[in-house]
Amino acid sequence: MDFSFSHEQEQFRDSLARFLRDKSPTSAVRKLMATDRGYDPAVWRQLCDDLGVAGLHLPEDVGGSGYGPVELGIALEEQGRALLCAPYLASAVMAGYAVLLGGTEAQRAELLPGIAGGTTIATLAVTESEGLWRAGDVRLAATASGDGFRLNGRKRFVVDGQNADLLVVAGRTGKGVSLFAVDAAAEGVSRRAVPPMDPTRKLAEIVFDDAPSRLLGAEGEAPLEAILDAVLVAFAHEMIGGAQALLDSAVAYAKLRVQFGRPIGSFQAIKHRCADLLVQVELAKAAVYQAAQLLADGEDATVAASQAKAVAAEAYMHAARECIQFHGGIGFTWENDTHLWFKRAKSSEVFLGAPREHRERMLQAMGV
């Protein structure tokens, strides 16, 4: 198992970080978060065309770059740091992994090139009422009809659901839970944007009323756990990127802000808390990076993935709280940027399962 990034990986990180500093300053984030779409199609095109990030983790024969979870993680860490507004998590990561791990070879060849190129915006709709994808939560009914299936039910917390062209949906037949591909424009699909607490990540509720769909992979064999592991590891990278941005901001402000005749960062009451935050963020990074490495090595990564989600979510929230606290009153204003990350941290904490749920999932995967 590798315990460090290669020179090539570091170079990729640097070039993406430069791009994001340029294209995703908080002024741009604020502008985009006030729109319905929530992202800038021109920046998305550049991200996909010039940097090729949407297909980073997808095989070359379906239009991807053939890299793996470690490189995907780098891309998400930098996006999380810059709070990039883009359908990346929904389309490239969630739908991309769902088709890659759940589709047949022919379906991968058909659906993944659009996702890898960023020309198709896709998303994955599993959740109905719980964050963690327990099979029992999937009640949406799928009924065979002709050479496809008709879907009836409702999906909630669908990231970028209103932007998507392609919906990958978990539904239930007599054989269990399967994945289905749905054209978002099809009759019987009604999408409603719901107001997200984190305005940088758009959410939709989607009702399926006899909507036509195609089965992905084998009926009753949706690999939800494997998809969840891969998505969690990627998502945890986004969280540690955000946590690092908040730590940097907290420390920078503590060095700048003068009270009682000295920078507040010279008080141990502040600097010790910054040190503690650094420890928590660094340990979370170590957990997240090793989870990616385990996935890349083809090892069973369930324990590491849930561990990564739990520690990254807690580090992110802790960083958000501390960053606001060190800023004092200004930290609670709309004008100050900290709340942008705070809201992302809060919604990330509960999306795909809260830390408490992942600690339990971790133990069960260990056989304890």
Partner 1 sequence: MDANLEEIRAEIRAWLAENWRPERSLVEWRNLLVDAGWAAPDWPADYYGRDLPPSAVAVVNEELAAAGAIGAAKAGVRNLAAATLLEHGTDAQKRRYLRGVLTGEEAWCQLFSEPGSGSDLAGATTRAVRQGNQWVINGQKVWNTSAHHADFGLLLARTDWDQPKHKGLTYFVIDMRQPGVEVRQLRQMNGHASFNEVFMTDAVVHPEDMVGKEGGGWQVAMTTLAHERSGFARSRESVEDGGRPGRIYDEYREEVAVANEPYVWYPQRAGRVDLVIERAKQTGAIDDSVIRQDIARLLALHQSAQWYARRTAEARKAGRTTGAEGSVSKLAASHVARLASDVHTAITGIEAMLTGPESPLDGVIAEILVSVPAVSIAGGTDEIQRNIVSERLLDMPKEPRFDTGPFRDVKRN
154 part of the interface to partner 1, by CB under 8 A: no
Per CB under 8 A, the segment of 30-38, 39-47, 287-295, 335-343 that binds partner 1 is 287-295
Closest residue by Cα to residue 58 from 43, 74, 69, 73: 69
Member of 289, 316, 326, 342 binding partner 1 (CB under 8 A): 289
107 vs 302 by CB, closer to partner 1: 302
How far is 41 from 108, CA to CA, in rounded Å? Answer: 25
As a whole number of Å, the end-to-end CA separation of the chain is 25
Residue 88 CA, distance from chain mean position: 8
Instruction: Tell me whether strands 148-159 and 166-173 are parallel, antiparallel or unpaired.
Output: unpaired
238 vs 314 by CB, closer to partner 1: 314
Per CB under 8 A, the segment of 99-107, 127-135, 169-177, 285-293 that binds partner 1 is 285-293
How far is 194 from 113, CA to CA, in rounded Å? Answer: 29
13 part of the interface to partner 1, by CB under 8 A: no
Member of 254, 295, 323, 352 binding partner 1 (CB under 8 A): 254
Q: Which amino acid is at 55?
A: G
Tell me which residue has tokens 């669908």.
Answer: 158
275 part of the interface to partner 1, by CB under 8 A: yes
Q: Please check whether residue 289 is in contact with residue 73, taking contact to mean a CB–CB distance below 8 angstroms.
A: yes
Give, as ranges, the residues between 303 and 342 that touch partner 1 (CB under 8 A). Answer: 307, 310-311
142 vs 352 by CB, closer to partner 1: 352
266 part of the interface to partner 1, by CB under 8 A: yes
Q: Nearest approach, Cβ of 39 to partner 1 (angstroms)?
A: 33
Per CB under 8 A, the segment of 127-135, 166-174, 182-190, 357-365 that binds partner 1 is 357-365
How far is 1 from 319, CA to CA, in rounded Å? Answer: 29
Any idea what DSSP says for residue 43?
A: H
265 part of the interface to partner 1, by CB under 8 A: yes
129 vs 268 by CB, closer to partner 1: 268
Member of 263, 321, 325, 354 binding partner 1 (CB under 8 A): 263
139 part of the interface to partner 1, by CB under 8 A: no
How far is 348 from 198, CA to CA, in rounded Å? Answer: 9
Q: Which SS3 state, helix, strand or coil, does residue 206 take?
A: strand
Q: Please check whether residue 208 is in contact with residue 169, taking contact to mean a CB–CB distance below 8 angstroms.
A: yes
Member of 154, 214, 257, 271 binding partner 1 (CB under 8 A): 271
282 part of the interface to partner 1, by CB under 8 A: yes
Q: Nearest approach, Cβ of 263 to partner 1 (angstroms)?
A: 5
Instruction: Tell me whether strands 262-263 and 203-216 are parallel, antiparallel or unpaired.
Output: unpaired
Strand partners, 125: 169
Closest residue by Cα to residue 352 from 64, 97, 104: 97
259 part of the interface to partner 1, by CB under 8 A: no
Q: Please check whether residue 198 is in contact with residue 343, taking contact to mean a CB–CB distance below 8 angstroms.
A: yes
Member of 267, 321, 325, 354 binding partner 1 (CB under 8 A): 267
262 part of the interface to partner 1, by CB under 8 A: yes
Member of 187, 283, 297, 330 binding partner 1 (CB under 8 A): 283
368 part of the interface to partner 1, by CB under 8 A: yes
Sign of CA dihedral 313, 316, 319, 320: negative
Member of 290, 302, 347, 348 binding partner 1 (CB under 8 A): 290
Helix (H), strand (E) at residue 173? strand 166-173
Binding positions for partner 1, rule: CB under 8 A: 3-4, 251, 254-255, 262-263, 265-268, 271-272, 274-276, 278-279, 282-287, 289-290, 307, 310-311, 356, 359-360, 362-363, 366, 368
